[in-house]
């Protein structure tokens, strides 16, 4: 299997994010054009596209990857914004699941994204 790093896209400039946010307000009709041809997306794909656009509209950077994508520890550490050593220690403690391919560790990108979500949740102020 070829390992492909997730595609990370920087946040939109505030003026573009604002325009997108206004366009999405109250809208559930998202039309996709590919080379001038209209495509109706199945509900799951539509929901994923709307979520992606909503994140951009809030000025967030976005990372897109396959759920089952397996990363090296270096790729996973870069995605998580932590050091390679810190990530290895977390896998040793069982905080992030790891699979071994011979002596090499592989980590599902979904597990890194789930860990990032838990970090985000613990960092958010509570009302």
Do 52 and 90 lie in a common domain? no
The structural domain count of the chain equals 2
Residue 29 lies in a domain: yes
The CATH number of residue 81's host domain is 1.10.1660.10
Do 34 and 52 lie in a common domain? yes
- Range of 24's domain? 8-64
Do 77 and 111 lie in a common domain? yes
pLDDT in tens, 66-121: 656 789 999 999 989 999 999 999 999 999 999 888 889 999 888 998 899 888 88
Nearest by Cα to 96 from 82, 78, 81, 108: 108
φ, ψ of residue 98 to 5 degrees: the values are -140, 145
pLDDT in tens, 15-72: 888 888 888 887 667 778 889 999 888 878 888 888 888 888 888 888 776 656 789 9
What pLDDT was estimated at residue 126? 52
Residue 102 lies in a domain: yes
Residue 47 lies in a domain: yes
Please tell me which residue, 68 or 3, carries the higher pLDDT value.
68
Please tell me which residue, 8 or 80, carries the higher pLDDT value.
80
φ, ψ of residue 92 to 5 degrees: the values are -65, -35
pTM: 0.47
**Residue 15, helix vs strand vs coil:** helix
Residue 38 lies in a domain: yes
> b/e string for 42-51 if b means 16 or more Cβ within 10 A?
eeeebeeeee
Residue 3 lies in a domain: no
Residue 31 lies in a domain: yes
Count how many residues are written for the chain: 127
Please tell me which residue, 28 or 3, carries the higher pLDDT value.
28
φ, ψ of residue 9 to 5 degrees: the values are -120, 130
- Triad 125, 56, 50: Cα angle to 5°: 105
């Amino acid at each position: 299997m070829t390992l492909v790093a997730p595609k990370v896209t920087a946040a939109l400039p505030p003026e573009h994010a604002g325009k997108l946010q206004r366009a999405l307000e109250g809208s559930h009709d998202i039309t996709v054009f590919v080379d001038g041809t209209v495509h109706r997306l199945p509900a799951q794909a539509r929901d994923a596209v709307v979520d992606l656009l909503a994140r951009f509209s809030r000025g967030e950077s976005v990372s897109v990857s396959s759920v089952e994508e397996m990363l090296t520890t270096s790729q996973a550490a870069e995605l998580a914004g932590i050091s390679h050593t810190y990530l290895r220690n977390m896998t040793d403690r069982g905080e992030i699941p790891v699979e071994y391919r011979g002596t090499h560790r592989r980590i599902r990108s979904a597990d890194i994204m789930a860990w990032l979500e838990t970090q985000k949740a613990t960092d958010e102020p509570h009302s």
